[in-house]
Structure 1
Amino acid sequence: MNRSVLISGCSGGGKSTLLAELGRRGHAIVEEPGRRIVKQELESNGTALPWVDMVAFARRAIGMATADHASAKGQAGWTFFDRGLIDAASALQHLTGEPVLQKLSTAYRYHQTVFLTPPWPEIYTSDPERRHGFDEAIAEYDRLAPTYPTLGYEVVVLPKITVADRADFILDHLEAKE
């Protein structure tokens, strides 16, 4: 069974906080490629930033997500990903028209169930790594939400509940699938 679980959805919807909770509970977690890239690019005065060169940023995210996926193979328990390859490939395809999504999503599969954080304006904030507004976050969510089912994934939209309850919800759902 594939135990690599994607948590995707709206930017600012609580993914990183949720992954931190799953990590505190002893599960392997993988930080969002985009946040890691932004930190690296800001430290090195690089230009592969979403507000400077989104195509270069998406290509770097694909490379990082591919490496993350490979390193999680063979893990005994669940590994939870804050975004992943499909998010990055979807962005690149949206920007350039390059048909990368189907090819990459076939070669690198995640668990059949993908959890999405819906737009949640009450918790949305911007920060040094997230400079876009809530409208842009919603547009990204609206692009991603229908993408996963077309690639053969079951999508479960997470309820707007406490972080601990969201973690319980995910673990209960995955346990029921085993």
Structure 2
Amino acid sequence: MPKRILLIGGPSTGKTTLLNHLENLGYACLEEISRQVISNAQKEGIDQLFLEKPLLFSTLLRDARIKQFKDVDGFKNDFVFIDRGIPDTVAYMDFVNQEYPEDFIEACKAHTYDLVFILPTWEKIHVIDQERYETFDQAKEIEEHLVQTYKQYGYSPIPVPTGPVEERAQFILNTLTS
């Protein structure tokens, strides 16, 4: 069974760029699904689903991330890299002080990842766009919630140094093979 390797971090930390690079190197990768959820909501006239209906948004993400988690079992690779995990939903709801039902906590406990890497906030690459509306300070606060949440579920997120994507990828690959 492949190891589930999670990439987490606040908005604009380079997760997608890193994931694309790892995929170009031949590694199995599962992309972040929140952009699809956001895009679908915008097509229905909801500009910022997470801000307008955070529990609905988070429920959709949690369910899709559970499916991603299960999909990994079908891979033949040693590692599958995943952009964000189930605990991210809890961290983001904590960030906006949104209450959530117990099934969110149970989902985090029932689906555990093998290793978690965190990409730290990095002002040099921080941007705001149609799906990413958080300021740099908010991104830093989200990072704090992510670290706290993942630690709460027994993970020790490994910080990935900032720098060129090739170096970031090599750091992760070296960590996995050491």
TM-score (structure 2 length as normaliser): 0.89
Deviation sequence 1:9-46 (CA, Å, 0-9, x none): 12111101100101111111111121121122223335
**Map of 1:88 onto structure 2:** 89
- 8 Å CA contact retained: 2:6, 2:83: yes
Give the 5 Å matches for 1:95-106.
Answer: 95-106=98-109
Deviation sequence 1:143-177 (CA, Å, 0-9, x none): 1112212212121011011101111111111112x
- 8 Å CA contact retained: 1:47, 1:53: no
- 8 Å CA contact retained: 1:90, 1:101: no
Root mean square deviation of aligned Cα = 1.9
Distance 1:66 1:158 in 2: 25
The runs of at least 4 aligned residues of structure 1 exceeding 2 Å deviation read: 43-48, 89-94, 97-102
Give the 5 Å matches for 1:108-123.
Answer: 108-111=111-114, 113-123=115-125
- 8 Å CA contact retained: 1:4, 1:79: yes
Q: Secondary structure at the match of 1:115?
A: strand
The verdict on how the C-alpha distance between 1:107 and 1:2 changes in structure 2, with shifts beyond 3 A counting, is farther
Distance 2:149 2:104 in 1: 9
**Map of 1:68 onto structure 2:** 68
Write 1 or 2 for the structure with the bigger share of helix: 2
**Map of 1:24 onto structure 2:** 24
The verdict on how the C-alpha distance between 1:24 and 1:7 changes in structure 2, with shifts beyond 3 A counting, is same
Deviation at 1:100, TM superposition (A): 4.2
Deviation at 1:101, TM superposition (A): 4.8
The verdict on how the C-alpha distance between 1:98 and 1:64 changes in structure 2, with shifts beyond 3 A counting, is same
Distance 1:73 1:21 in 2: 22
Structure 1 residue 166 corresponds to structure 2 residue 154 = no
* Percent identity between the two aligned chains: 27
TM-score (structure 1 length as normaliser): 0.89
Paired residue total: 175
